[in-house]
A and B are shown apart, each in its own frame.
Chain A
Amino acid sequence: MKRIFIDPAKCDGCKNCSLACMESHRQDGGTGIYTLDLLDPRNQSRNRILSDGKGGYSPVFCRHCDIPDCAGACMSGALHKNMESGLVEYDAEKCAACYMCVMSCRYGVPAISPDRKHIIKCDFCAHLEEGPACVRACPKKAIEVREV
């Protein structure tokens, strides 16, 4: 099983990870940073870089927790822990948009979708063979994928 590990001390707040996430999940069929619409709410990033209030940054990434708060709070079964891959997976079809996951996640990862009918959350770039786009985009190697 793989996880994203974070070293906040290395983060410069460049948000390249956020742009890589947006690019990886864009729905308009386009490719390449130049055509990525930075104003389209549907392109919202699944990760976030917050200020830590002390001059540094707190990168917020889904940990795909062993005992996930989000899946525990999910009444419809849209979120569940895949014990084989280790990922916390989301099935939008089952989602009732109750936002309990948004309320429960201790890291603040799940976000409400712009149309308020779903949530958006890291899927570990399941569609990319090479793994999560955010990790590959980080120039400081503040985030990395490790086998656990």
Chain B
Amino acid sequence: MNNCTDCINCNTCPSADKPMEEYIRRIPLETAHHRVEGQSTKCGFGLQGVCCRLCANGPCRITPESPRGICGANADTIVARNFLRAVAAGSGCYIHVVENTARQLKNTGLHKDKIRSEKALNHLAGLLGVTGKDKYDLCVKVADAVLSDLYRPEYEPMELVEKLAYSPRVKRWKELGIMPGGAKGEVFLNVVKTSTNLSSDPAEMLVSCLRLGISTGLYGLQLTNLLNDVVLGDPEIRTAPVGMNVIDPNYINILITGHQHSLFTYIQDRLLDDDVTAKAKAAGAKGFKLVGCTCVGQDLQLRGAHYTEIFDGHAGNNYISEAVLSCGAIDAVLSEFNCTLPGIEPICEKLKIKQICLDVVAKKANADLIPFHYETRQEDGDKIIDEIIEAYKSRRGQVPMNLFTEHGNKNTLTGISEGSLKAFLGGSWKPLIDLIASGKIKGLAGVVGCSSVAYGHDTLTAELTKELIAKDILVLTAGCSSGGLENIGMMTPEAAELAGPNLKAVCKELGIPPVLNFGPCLAIGRLEIVATEIARELGVDLPQLPLVISAAQWLEEQALADGSFALALGLPLHLGVPPFVTGSKLVTKILTEDMVGLTGGRVIIDPDGKSAANQLEAIIEEKRRALKI
């Protein structure tokens, strides 16, 4: 841990959020933004994906003098193998999330627990073709339908795929032979495939990425949202405060990080009970508040209409979590998944912030592990609450406060989902389709996925988004891209001023910003439902839509699994940095060119916001011409 006291020579990375950049530069603690410079020398073989350390003969690296590894694997095999491994791991992450979410719904049904949206339950049951004796039985049946698909072996096709996916896509997937088997089995099979001296076929491995993409997208993304809607409540459109101004030091503040909102359900309700509030008051606080960070904060914000009392608001994305903790007013971190940075650990230790993990997959080194079990949730919940009160009592007054009350804004539009947006449009997609057809909205761009810092914190995401809206392209966001863009005001109605003349007029008429915030990365699945419903209404396939996806600042293996879903859907996918594949001409060509002939999708690599926006605009215009609009 850097114990510097002199910030004059501190070199932190640039951020799209200038006030935050300045705040971080002055923090007397080390953050990811400080570590960027020290890690600025990258390994060129790693960047190109041609370092293989699958066996003890390695690591082998590809150079003109050594074009094959010791085993004989060439650059194409090494790159494809590394890429498929990453996609399989990313898929595993999202499948873990949907598995826990389905188990939560099942337990809710079995224990006749609180169901926040029967509408969402009936919608999902209808989609899956499941019936039940009553609403609780229906929860169990829906959850079982999902879980039994996840647990199928990979050689058995999953049953819900055809019910969830758009039929022209299913037809194409069957032609390509990429209908996925059991989602967990797919991860297992492909991890085996990429082990030492197993598959060496780059084309087959890339096709496997598409299959993993489909299981990740339909189950890990789309179904996780729909399952959560039942237990946690439907998103409702409203405005909310965002940024570090949401933190109120008069409360016992709990920062939540992760992706599994349903694991917090019990605690977040319990924190409002009179006996728990009384305990907080006895300790000297007004009560408890949850402060959002990473995707679970975005998800809570999305459904915030149901949680106005306990939820203070979303502070920001993964790469400001260290800054948020440094403000002194956070007493505990409750985490259950990524993106909980290891960098928070020394900060928590120094500022006496209690760390508790609810899922072993995200166990932090100096955190207590209290894994979520439905059966023991009450005693575990009370134990967690007592631990947090103790932390509050022992740290307040002992650690310095460094609040940042002017950060962020108070009027970010949130709560947008496939359901709430359609309702906002009057129960039909026709008004949006008409705006696209008339050219008032030139097209749609999903600017989704992560935040990264190596080349600037949210800088490319922000630049690209500004360029796109200036071209009258409506931007939809999901993931930590949302967290970065909302803190710089891109989701306030005033951001309409930054849009091109046509989009600006639409925004002003409807009172909406030019960037629509769907919340967490899981909600990439919601964007894809929106796209599918629009395509269905138009009677076209997804690749024909004037729609592009950008994971401009993709960070993790999960993003690569999501990206594989976008490719399987036939969508153009922009990435700011290549996914460690350029060492293979074959793999690069398949991803950036030949994929068009397979699914209709392709990868576009461009690190520059302006030229990337130009490329994406050209694609949208080409698709408009093909649709004769």
Asked if A and B are interacting partners, one says yes
The segment from B25-33, B39-47, B132-140 found at the interface with A is B39-47
B 538-576 binary contact with A (CB < 8 Å = 1; else 0): 000000000000000000000000000000000000000
Q: Which of A1-24 contact B (CB under 8 A)?
A: 14-16, 18-20, 22-23
Q: Could you tell me the distance between the alpha carbons of A33 and B237 in the complex, rounded to whole angstroms?
A: 45
B41 and A38 form a contact (CB under 8 A)? no
A33 and B63 form a contact (CB under 8 A)? no
B64 and A33 form a contact (CB under 8 A)? no
Which chain A residue shows the least CB distance to B76? A39
B64 and A36 form a contact (CB under 8 A)? no
B582 and A35 form a contact (CB under 8 A)? yes
The 8 Å CB contact of A34, one of B61, B64, B578, is B578
B interface bracket (residues with beta carbon within 8 Å of A): 20 to 34
B62 and A38 form a contact (CB under 8 A)? yes
The 8 Å CB contact of A137, one of B41, B67, B583, is B41
A 18-45 binary contact with B (CB < 8 Å = 1; else 0): 1110110000000001111111111111
- Asked whether A56 is an interface residue with its Cβ less than 8 Å from the other chain, the reply is no
B43 and A38 form a contact (CB under 8 A)? no
- Asked whether B48 is an interface residue with its Cβ less than 8 Å from the other chain, the reply is yes
- Asked whether A139 is an interface residue with its Cβ less than 8 Å from the other chain, the reply is yes
A36 and B65 form a contact (CB under 8 A)? no
Determine chain B's interface SS by DSSP, over half rule.
loop
The 8 Å CB contact of B43, one of A14, A36, A45, is A14
Shortest beta-carbon distance from B67 to chain A in Å: 5
The answer to whether A16 and B64 touch (CB under 8 A), given A35-B582, A38-B50, is no
Q: Could you tell me the distance between the alpha carbons of A66 and B42 in the complex, rounded to whole angstroms?
A: 34
The 8 Å CB contact of B582, one of A18, A34, A40, A137, is A34
Q: Could you tell me the distance between the alpha carbons of A33 and B578 in the complex, rounded to whole angstroms?
A: 11
Contacts of B50 in A (CB 8 A): 38
The 8 Å CB contact of B44, one of A36, A37, A40, A114, is A36
Contacts of B47 in A (CB 8 A): 33-34
Contacts of B44 in A (CB 8 A): 15-16, 19-20, 23, 33, 36
The 8 Å CB contact of A19, one of B45, B67, B75, B585, is B45
Contacts of B63 in A (CB 8 A): 15, 18, 38, 45
Shortest beta-carbon distance from A16 to chain B in Å: 6
A15 and B582 form a contact (CB under 8 A)? no
B64 and A15 form a contact (CB under 8 A)? no
Which chain B residue shows the least CB distance to A20? B44
Contacts of B42 in A (CB 8 A): 33
Which chain A residue shows the least CB distance to B74? A39
The answer to whether A15 and B45 touch (CB under 8 A), given A34-B578, A38-B63, A39-B64, is yes
Q: Which of B54-92 contact A (CB under 8 A)?
A: 61-65, 67, 75
Which chain A residue shows the least CB distance to B605? A34
Tell me the total A-B contact number using a CB cutoff of 8 A.
Answer: 52
Shortest beta-carbon distance from B605 to chain A in Å: 8
The answer to whether A16 and B48 touch (CB under 8 A), given A38-B63, A39-B67, A44-B64, is no
Q: Could you tell me the distance between the alpha carbons of A114 and B64 in the complex, rounded to whole angstroms?
A: 10
Q: Which of B2-31 contact A (CB under 8 A)?
A: none
Contacts of A42 in B (CB 8 A): 64
Contacts of A33 in B (CB 8 A): 42, 44, 47-48
Q: Could you tell me the distance between the alpha carbons of A118 and B605 in the complex, rounded to whole angstroms?
A: 36
A39 and B61 form a contact (CB under 8 A)? no
Shortest beta-carbon distance from A140 to chain B in Å: 9
Q: Could you tell me the distance between the alpha carbons of A50 and B43 in the complex, rounded to whole angstroms?
A: 18
A44 and B65 form a contact (CB under 8 A)? yes
Q: Could you tell me the distance between the alpha carbons of A35 and B583 in the complex, rounded to whole angstroms?
A: 8
Determine chain A's interface SS by DSSP, over half rule.
helix
The 8 Å CB contact of A16, one of B43, B577, B582, is B43
Which chain B residue shows the least CB distance to A45? B63
A40 and B64 form a contact (CB under 8 A)? yes
Shortest beta-carbon distance from A52 to chain B in Å: 18
Contacts of A139 in B (CB 8 A): 41
The 8 Å CB contact of B64, one of A14, A20, A41, is A41
Q: Could you tell me the distance between the alpha carbons of A41 and B43 in the complex, rounded to whole angstroms?
A: 20
Which chain A residue shows the least CB distance to B42? A33
Q: Could you tell me the distance between the alpha carbons of A34 and B44 in the complex, rounded to whole angstroms?
A: 8
Q: Could you tell me the distance between the alpha carbons of A45 and B63 in the complex, rounded to whole angstroms?
A: 9
Q: Could you tell me the distance between the alpha carbons of A18 and B61 in the complex, rounded to whole angstroms?
A: 12
Shortest beta-carbon distance from B57 to chain A in Å: 14
B578 and A38 form a contact (CB under 8 A)? no
A 60-98 binary contact with B (CB < 8 Å = 1; else 0): 000000000000000000000000000000000000000
Contacts of B583 in A (CB 8 A): 38
Which chain B residue shows the least CB distance to A34? B582
Q: Could you tell me the distance between the alpha carbons of A20 and B47 in the complex, rounded to whole angstroms?
A: 13
Shortest beta-carbon distance from A107 to chain B in Å: 17
Contacts of B605 in A (CB 8 A): 34
Shortest beta-carbon distance from B454 to chain A in Å: 13
Contacts of A23 in B (CB 8 A): 44
Shortest beta-carbon distance from B39 to chain A in Å: 9
The 8 Å CB contact of B61, one of A15, A37, A137, is A15
Q: Could you tell me the distance between the alpha carbons of A35 and B606 in the complex, rounded to whole angstroms?
A: 12
Which chain B residue shows the least CB distance to A38? B62
Contacts of B577 in A (CB 8 A): 34
Q: Could you tell me the distance between the alpha carbons of A38 and B44 in the complex, rounded to whole angstroms?
A: 10
Contacts of A45 in B (CB 8 A): 63
Q: Could you tell me the distance between the alpha carbons of A36 and B75 in the complex, rounded to whole angstroms?
A: 13
Given A19-B44, A38-B63, 14 additional A-B pairs, CB 8 A: A15-B44, A15-B45, A16-B41, A20-B44, A23-B44, A33-B44, A36-B44, A38-B45, A38-B48, A38-B64, A38-B75, A41-B65, A44-B65, A114-B64
Query: What are 22 residue pairs bridging A and B, where the CB atoms are less than 8 Å apart in the complex?
Result: A15-B63, A16-B41, A16-B43, A16-B44, A18-B63, A20-B44, A33-B48, A34-B47, A34-B48, A36-B44, A36-B48, A38-B45, A38-B48, A38-B50, A38-B75, A39-B62, A39-B64, A39-B585, A42-B64, A44-B65, A114-B64, A139-B41
> Which of B's residues lie within 8 Å of A, judged by CB?
41-45, 47-48, 50, 61-65, 67, 75, 577-578, 582-583, 585, 605
Q: Pick the 5 closest A-B CB pairs, nearest first.
A: A19-B44, A139-B41, A34-B582, A41-B64, A33-B44
